[in-house]
Each structure stands twice: as structure tokens, then as C-alpha cells.
A and B are shown apart, each in its own frame.
Chain A
Amino acid sequence: MNKTININLASTFFYMDENAYTILKSYLNELESAFKNTLGKDEILQDIETRIAELFQERKTSSDYVINETDVNEIIDILGQPKDFILEDEDETTDTGDTKSEKKLFRDREDRYIAGVASGLGHYFGTDASWIRLIWVLFALFSVGSLFLIYLILWAIVPEAKTTAEKLKMKGEPVNIDTIQKKIKKEFDEVSSKIKDVDYQKTTASLKKKSKSFFTFLEQLLKQVPQVIIKLLGLILSFFSGVGILGIFIGSLVFIFFGSIHWPIDFHFNFFNFSVFQSIYFSIALFLLLLIPFLFTFSLGMRLISSQSNAFGKISRIVLLIVWIAALVFIIIMGSQEIKNQNITATKTDTKELNIKKTDTLFVKLNSEFIQGDDLSWEYNRANRFKIALENFSESRKNAKINLYKSNKSFSFIELKYSANGATQEKAQINATNIDYNWKLDKSILYLDPLWKTVNSTPFYNQKININLNIQEGQIIFINNRSKDLLYSILSNDQGYSKRQITGHYWRMGTEKLECLDCSSNQQQLNIKYQDKSGDEKLNLNVDNQGVTIKRK
């Protein structure tokens, strides 16, 4: 749809459509500014208008013919652009008087922070806008509110330099063909349509307009606030998700490489004593179950930061969701299976008398007989440790627990308690029977395997082995240092030592407590003093671990 405009050109009426009119008007404006300083400008323009009217007349086939864009463009081609006949005017311009146009204050929107007030002032005073801005800032520090008001007033009152002429005036450059032509090439449309209505129309509506533009500015600012918050949220979200993802990977690697680390006995993770954790499938499922939500939150965070970012395509998102659900279902099934499997605990007790003379010291040593070398299995190098970690998934092998009690019988005996869980009594029994544990008494030395294992590679059903050493009263026992980590429940001692401290000392089973024979504060000491009737000390015989000392007086 196009509006038709009735125009009067050289006293002839024409119908034009709006587009054609706009083009013609800007062309005439352009001509006007091109001939601005030419003598007889009005006459030239009038002649040209007449010629245009003539050319229109040629095209006007009927009385109601509407001149269109094509017509106007063709006519402009015939007449030519001002630059095509600029040479004619070169020496004709009366360019002495009014070329040096006076500077006017405008706002420069092209170089602005807020509304271009500072840059406009900069142009006006011929200084760099940075200085004006610096003054603004300093001024702002001292005048707090008033500056803001001044700025607003300037914003409202000082017009924005929109047209080429205004921009030139703003910079104090002469408004003539040369300068205008330069700008016109760039901003032809803008200039031509506005050069005429610089003055009137605007000033009246300007105040209204300026305040309006201020509010739109405020609105834009407010609109940006949630955006900033969203971006910040996205940053936080993706950061923590990233940390989470990294954590899961590091955790998994640690689990894979150091999964075989023996937890100190005190530090007991019953949580891990389930067969599911022995399953590599379960571990993978758990890994995915934890990882995928983090991946999602990460991609969400990235999306909040930048709407273009799309870490996962639609398909991969669906796939990830399916994998996650599968992992969840798998874990639920395995978990319920596990609970079922851990239904009943069966305990088998194996009691053996320790054939040792009461006068002999019972030495408790770890392994050596059962495991290669003289040392414990965890002193492997890294490569083997990895192997063990993998083996741990299929073959369970855990620490035995050593307990020390006072025998309720007239002899010392060893009690081995094998226990395991199972879905049924029979299964629990089988699982308990499947625990393979080695120990041996050789003369006065009791060799204990620090680890038990399961025969037939049964998975982990919370199997445990408790070695209860029931020592008769008066028996001396020595537990070597290596057993430290396996000691679990130990009879209290007269030194108040913790269970880990009792190793490496000789202990005699007392009536209630263990009595230390070689602890410094409770050394065995024989002291005989002989005194005469007057009470004077005549002889002091002392026997301790330093030897025998006799003092005579």
C-alpha cells in the first residue's frame, strides 16, 4: 500500500506515490545544499524544478497518472547528481562570508557514554571529550546530586546532532558543499530528509522527546539487570558443575588406582561392605548417575551465560537422559538385590585351644607364612596396586580383626568367628563357610594372616572374620608392631594405653587388665631394705632392668 501525494511543481500538479516523493524531496534538498553558496541558487533550483516538471509531464500518460519511484530515479539520472556538476560551481561559490559557521552545542551520539553530552561539550570547547568526562567525574564527587540534575537538563535541552549540517556545526566546520558532500555520501538519506526541518518542528517537541528517551534508557537499564543476574547465575552454576564433574573424575580415578587402600580398622566403612561395590558395572552406573546431572547443570549454566552456547544437541541430551535413567534403574535393581542378599547374617565359630605353656610368652605375628615375602600385601608398587584394585572388584579380600580377651577357661584358646550375609540362612552359611583364613601356632608363635579371602570368588556379602584371642590369667603375650592395624577390641591395660599402643610390649594377663611388664612407668623392681634396730638403713638391694645394685652403709 502506498500513499499518493499531490504535489505542485513549477505550477503544475502531479500525483506521486510516497516513495517517489521521498526520493525527489531528498534529491531537491541535496541540490539545495549543493548550490547553497552559489549565486542565483534559487533560480537554478527553480529551473531544475521546471525541468523536472517537464519530464514528469512527458511521462504523464493520463491525467491521473501517479509518478512512481522508477520515474523519479530515471529523471534524477537524466539531471545528474550534484557531484556530477560540482566543477561548474568551483570558482563561483561566494564562500567568504558565511562558510565559517559558528559552533553550536549538540550532543554527539556517535561518541557517547550516556547521551553524548560530554562529547558534545568537548566539540564545543574544542577539547577532547575525555577531559570533559574527567571534569564530570570530579564534579560528580563534590556535587553529588546536582551534577546528575545538570546532566539531565543538558540532556533534555541540548539537541542531538542528527543531520550532517548539525554534525558539522557541532564541530565548527564550515557547512559548505565540500564538507557536506563528504558527509552526504555516508549519510545521504538521513541528511536529505532532515536538513530542512532542523529548526522548527523539533525544538517544541524536543523536551518531551528527550525525557522520553531518558525513560527508555532507564527501561533498557532495568531490562539488563535480570540479564546480568542470569549471567551471574549461569557462571556460578557452570563453575560448580565443572568442579563437580572434575571431582567425580578425580574421585573415580582415586577409587580405581587406590581402591585397594586398606582403611584403618578404626575407620570403618560399613557402607562399602556390600557386594555391589565389588561390581564394576555398579561402579560405572554410579559414576554415570552422578556425572550426568552435573553435565546437564553445566550446560544449563553455559546456556545462561550465552544463549548461543549449546553444549549438547537434542539427540545427545535425550541419550544422556536415557543413560541416566538406565543407570538409576540398574542401581535400584542392584540395590534391592543387594538388600535381599544381605538379608540374614550367619556366623560360624571355630574354637581351638592354644597349646602353650603358661610360662611361655605367646608371640603374635602376622602372616609371613601365608603371604609371599616377609611383609604385608599393601606394600606393593603402583602397578600391582592397580591390579589389586581391579581384583578387588571380583575377589573380595579384607582385613581380619584381632580381639583380645581374658579366657574364661583354664587354658588359652583361639576363637575364629566367620560371618557373612546372605539371602537365606543356607546362602549366608555358605558365604560364611567360603571364607578362607589361615593361621597357625608354631611352638609359642601364633601366625595370623592379616587378610581373609573367599574361596570360589564369592562376592562380598559383608564377610567378616574376628579372631578372638582368649588368654588365660598369668599368660604373657607379645603382639608385634605389624599387627597394630588389625587390633579391634582389646582388653584394657594398666597403662591406659590405646589398643594401637599395646604392640611391642610384654603383657601379662592379670585378673582384670593386661599388665605391662616392660613399660617404663611400671618396671619390675625388686627392692629389699635392711634396717637396724635404730632405724638406720644398713643395706639396700635393688633389682631392675638396669641390673642389680647393692648399697651398704
Chain B
Amino acid sequence: MKIENTTAQMRKGILEFCILSLISGKDLYTTEILDTLKKGKMLVVEGTIYPLLTRLKNANLLQYHWEESTSGPPRKYYSITPEGEEFLSKLKTVWNELNEAVQIITTQK
């Protein structure tokens, strides 16, 4: 079993959670999302995010609108949908539960 596979899979699920929670705060465009994720070391390569965003959008969890930019191409601003909010709150619960469980299990030695 490869560590890369496991971590990538973990990351993948958590990434979606992170993206949704980021966007739920305020509307963001891709680069802002990227910057935050990269700061938090959630991303290794940027390419990963695009299929994720598209998937979340296609699942009606996210929506976007275009905004002109003063320095470059127009920006795609993402905002969360009501479904997205619902999904996010579910994820939050699961995450907290998981976090706790993991905390307990990994510290109990």
C-alpha cells in the first residue's frame, strides 16, 4: 500500500470540505481559493483544484459568476448554493466526529 495513495485520498475528501467552507464565508475566485489552500499546505499542485471545483459546481453545491479584472483575464467568482450549505454542515458534523474519533484513537496507546 502506498502512502501517497492514502494521503491523496484523504486529501481529496478533506479538500472538498475545505473548499466549501472557504467559499461559504464569502465569494471567492479560483486564485484566492488556491492561495489560501496553498498557505494551509492543503495543495501540492494547483491543477488538482480545477476538476474538484467543476465537480462541486456540477453537483449544484457551488455556483459562479464572472467578474472583470483590472489585471488580467476575467475572474470566475464562486459562491455556495443552499444545497452546498447543507452539504457543508453535514460534512462539518462528520469531520468533527471523525476528528474526535481519530484524536481519541490515535492518542490512546
- Of A35, A50, A57, which one neighbours B51 at CB under 8 angstroms? A35
Taking a contact as CB atoms under 8 Å apart, the answer to whether B54 and A47 are in contact is yes
State whether A82 touches B47 (Cβ < 8 A): yes
Q: Which of B33-68 contact A (CB under 8 A)?
A: 34, 44-48, 50-55, 57-58
Contact between A54 and B55, CB atoms less than 8 A apart: no
Closest residue of chain A to B34, judged by CB? A51
Asked if B30 contacts A80 (CB within 8 A), the reply is no
Instruction: Pick the contact of B50: A10, A47, A53, A54 (CB < 8 A).
Output: A47
* Distance, CA A50 to CA B44, complexed state (A): 19
Q: Contacting chain B: which of A83-91, A130-138, A345-353, A432-440?
A: A83-91
A226 and B46 alpha carbons, distance in the complex (Å):
60
Taking residues whose C-beta sits less than 8 angstroms from the other chain, chain B's interface range is 20 to 34
B45 close to A79 (CB less than 8 A): yes
- In Å, the complex CA distance between A81 and B53 comes to 18
Question: Does chain B have a CB within 8 A of A70?
Answer: no
**B25 in the interface (beta carbon within 8 A):** no
Given A44-B54, A78-B46, CB of A87 within 8 Å of CB of B71: no
CB closest chain-A residue, reference B46: A79
B74 within 8 A of A: yes
Q: Which residues of B contact A48 (CB under 8 A)?
A: 47, 50
Separation of A51 and B51 alpha carbons in the complex (Å): 13
- Determine the distance from Cα of A39 to Cα of B59 in the docked complex, in whole angstroms: 11
**Contact between chains at B55 and A51 (CB < 8 Å):** no
B53 touches A47 (CB 8 A): yes
B99 at the A/B interface (Cβ < 8 Å)?
Answer: no
In the docked arrangement, what's the CA distance between A133 and B9, Å? 49
Question: Is there an interface contact between B76 and A50, defined as CB atoms closer than 8 Å?
Answer: yes
Does A38 sit within 8 A of B, measured CB to CB?
A: yes
A40 to B47: give the CA distance in the assembly, Å.
15
Asked whether, in the complex, the Cβ of B73 is within 8 Å of the Cβ of A88, the reply is: no
Give the shortest distance, in Å, between A23 (CB) and chain B (any CB): 16
Tell me if A54 and B31 are in contact (CB < 8 A): yes
The reply on A377 being an interface residue by CB < 8 A is no
Which among A11, A31, A80 has the highest number of chain B CB atoms within 10 Å?
A: A80
A536 proximal to B (CB < 8 A)? no
Name B53's closest neighbour in chain A (CB-CB). Answer: A47
- Contacts A51-B46, A54-B72, A80-B46 given; indicate if A87 touches B54 (C-beta within 8 A): no
- The answer to whether B44 and A80 touch across the interface, beta carbons within 8 angstroms, is yes
- Assuming the contacts A39-B58, A80-B46, asked whether A85 and B51 have C-beta atoms less than 8 A apart, the reply is yes
Does A73 belong to the interface (CB within 8 Å)? Answer: no
| Known contacts A11-B73, A12-B72, A47-B30: A84-B53 contact under CB 8 Å | no
CA separation between A53 and B72, bound complex, in Å? Answer: 7
B 1-31 contacts with A by CB, 8 A? 5, 8-9, 12, 30-31
Q: Output the residue of B8, B48, B54 with the most chain A CB within 10 A.
A: B54
Tell whether, in the assembled complex, residue B51 and residue A84 are in contact, meaning their CB atoms are under 8 Å apart. Answer: no
Docked-complex contact A88 and B51, CB < 8 angstroms: yes
Closest chain B CB from A380 CB (angstroms): 89
A47: which B residues are within 8 A, CB to CB?
Answer: 30, 50, 53-54, 76
Is A80 a contact of B45 with CB atoms below 8 Å? Answer: yes
Q: Are B8 and A12 in contact (CB-based, < 8 A)?
A: no
Contact of B73 among A35, A54, A79, A85 (CB under 8 A): A54
Is A43 interfacial (CB 8 A cutoff)?
yes
**Does any Cβ of B come within 8 Å of A92's Cβ?**
yes
Please name all residues of chain A whose beta carbon is closer than 8 Å to the beta carbon of B58 when the two chains form the complex. Answer: 39-40
**CA of A57 to CA of B53 in the docked complex: distance in angstroms?**
22
What is the minimal beta-carbon distance from A91 to any residue of chain B, in angstroms?
Answer: 10
Given contacts A54-B72, A78-B46, A87-B12, contact A38 B30 (CB under 8 A): no
Chain A residues within 8 Å of B, Cβ to Cβ:
9-12, 31, 35, 38-40, 43-44, 47-48, 50-51, 53-54, 57, 77-82, 84-85, 87-89, 92
Question: Which B residues fall within an 8 A CB radius of A?
Answer: 5, 8-9, 12, 30-31, 34, 44-48, 50-55, 57-58, 71-74, 76
Q: List 10 A-B contacts (CB under 8 A).
A: A11-B73, A31-B47, A38-B51, A40-B55, A40-B57, A48-B50, A51-B34, A57-B72, A85-B45, A85-B48
Given contacts A43-B57, A47-B76, 8 further A-B pairs with CB under 8 A are A11-B74, A38-B51, A40-B51, A40-B55, A57-B72, A80-B44, A87-B5, A89-B51
- 3 tightest Cβ-Cβ pairs between the two chains A and B: A80-B45, A10-B73, A85-B48
